[in-house]
Structure 1
Amino acid sequence: MGQDYCTHEVDAGVICSGFVKLVAGDGPCNGRVEVNSGTQQSTVCDGNFTLSTAKVICAELECGTAVSIMKGAHFGKGNGTIWDKEFQCNGSEPFLTQCPTVPIPGGKCSHSMDVGVICSRYTDFRLKDGRSNCEGRVEIQVLGTWRSLCDSHWDLADANVLCHQLHCGVAMKPPEDAHFGKGSVQIIGDTFYCTGIESHLWDCSVTVLGTSPCSKGKVASVVCSG
């Protein structure tokens, strides 16, 4: 037999993909949290489930950032087992498997407590080239890359939501009267359909068009009251 020269400095390791997924939503980036327990998918209890854990899940699934935790089986009750641990992520872990875990306090959970997560590909918003942070050209960070927003369907309700989101009051004038140039970043053609009462643009219905041509050739702008 050959002599074994292996030491702990060359211990093998592996990171497997597919540990976590979101199911029963309208796409891969929102839904009930399920993890692979080794033999089957298990739901996760909503007790002490944090936004930091949700952010790790969204990042791992390449779904941007977490915007909401949905408790009380919002996406329906699961049918399998329930994960018997509680994740304690700090938000910086690249994979959910790298988060510390502890047993569920009391060991009690039910499918009526299955947790869900809503992720957003929009990771940040800003107004550029205005006289303050509360006016300017609308730019959206999509999965870490800044884009200018096409104004083809940008209206006062959308503008009001963005002003509120940025803690800048309300929109002061119709968006078509605000012009701050095209900027130097690529234009994104996504269309928001806000009612005006939402807290964030990602709460509005949206049609994702990506970097399609901008039909009007002009980017969205807004002047907020500040």
Structure 2
Amino acid sequence: MCVYNFLDGISYSNAHFGAGSGKIWMDDVACSSSYNKLIYCPSSILGTSNCGHSEDAGVSCQAPCTDGQIRLAGNTNVPQEGRVEYCLNNNWGTICDSSWGATDAQVACRQLGYLTEGAIAYSSAKFGSGTGPVYYHYFGCSGSEATLSACSKSSGSSCSHSRDAGVRCLVNSTVNCTYGDVRLVGGSNQYEGRVEICINGIWGTVCDDSWSSTDATVVCKQLGHSYTGSGVAYSNAHFGAGSGKIWMDDVACSSSYNKLIYCPSSILGTSNCGHSEDAGVSCQAPCTNGQIRLVGNTNVPQEGRIEYCLNNNWGTICHNSLGSN
């Protein structure tokens, strides 16, 4: 069947769900909303068509939903983040980002069966604009509610889909690797390397767009290298190019974060980077009081700036009275 005019559901053409075989029974279908069976709709003569199976028609119907049910849409890479959609009167709609915050995101994640720890609230239709009604202008969750429907809320004034609210949740997954874990690969020791992060059991890299020493320090803290020094950020695949998925881009950590996955970023798995832009870090290695090292000459190890360790932190020595002894 091809060239159709379905008024309910989403219509697909060009064998979107694969080409069929055998007879093409209907063509030039012209249903109206009053029909409840396809065969009742006017069409060309049954079995007569100028189509091939490359033009087979398809449809996507809206699944029924219950009031207060929510779902995430807009990211096909991972299921645990996306635009928050809310069901009311058996119809899906969106939520306005006015007052949408961390406690609202935590409740949404809890309702969906994800972890509330590290939930991130997004605004301004980060995961694309939805369709249909915008149900609520305001949510006032305390963070302890089991569902969004249990939170105080208000329809409020009008809100456009350009302000659709979104969320990123964490999952309790330990398949192959633990969700949100990071590791350093390609460095000369355990304190440096290309940053890789585990998402849904798969290791991937981080793009160096906006990658900074603050982001690097968060990675170092997550790995247990939480000393007073800060991490050094590297770009352009300094520790070699990775492979597979680039999970994070446009990372924007603040110093208060202690895990990279908690930091705002672009949509997980969506990036305008190649692996030639993989981000890396160098963390401060631990030291013992009185230990010294030479820094500043990569050509030979026996000369350089003297650095001294005190309270597990490297510092320098003033040249006053420093002599040959």
Range of TM-score over shorter length: 0.5 to 0.7
- In the alignment, structure 1 segments of 5+ residues that lack a partner are 1-15, 124-139, 144-148, 173-190, 208-221
For 1:169-180, list aligned pairs within 5 A: 169-170=228-229
Contact 2:110 2:146 (C-alpha < 8 Å) held by counterparts: yes
> How many residue pairs were aligned?
157
When Rg is computed on C-alpha atoms for both structures, the one with the higher figure is 2
> How far apart in 2 are the matches of 1:59 and 1:80?
25
- In the alignment, structure 2 segments of 5+ residues that lack a partner are 1-65, 196-215, 232-244, 254-258, 270-283, 287-311, 314-325
Higher helix share: 1
Contact 2:80 2:170 (C-alpha < 8 Å) held by counterparts: yes
* 1:108 aligns to 2:144 (yes or no): no
Alpha-carbon distance, 1:160 to partner? 3.8
Alpha-carbon distance, 1:164 to partner? 4.8
Higher strand share: 1
Alpha-carbon distance, 1:169 to partner? 4.0
Alpha-carbon RMSD: 4.2
Structure with higher RCO (Cα < 8 A, 6+ apart) = 1
* Pair 29,156 (structure 1): closer, same or farther in 2 beyond 3 Å: same
Report what 2:167 is aligned to. 117
- Identical-pair percentage: 26
- TM-score (norm. length: structure 1): 0.53
> How far apart in 2 are the matches of 1:24 and 1:117?
11
SS at match of 2:169: strand
Report what 2:142 is aligned to. 90
User: In structure 1, which of residues 20, 29, 44 is the aligned counterpart of residue 95 of structure 2?
Assistant: 44
Alpha-carbon distance, 1:45 to partner? 0.3
Contact 1:64 1:142 (C-alpha < 8 Å) held by counterparts: no
Residue identity opposite 1:62 in structure 2: G
Contact 1:21 1:28 (C-alpha < 8 Å) held by counterparts: no
Contact 1:161 1:194 (C-alpha < 8 Å) held by counterparts: no
Once the two structures are superposed, residues 65-121 of structure 1 have per-residue CA deviations (whole angstroms, 9 ceiling, x without a partner) of 3432221111111111111352211001112221122232xx120011111111123
- TM-score (norm. length: structure 2): 0.39
* Pair 155,198 (structure 1): closer, same or farther in 2 beyond 3 Å: farther
SS at match of 1:54: helix
Residue identity opposite 1:38 in structure 2: N
* Pair 21,156 (structure 1): closer, same or farther in 2 beyond 3 Å: same
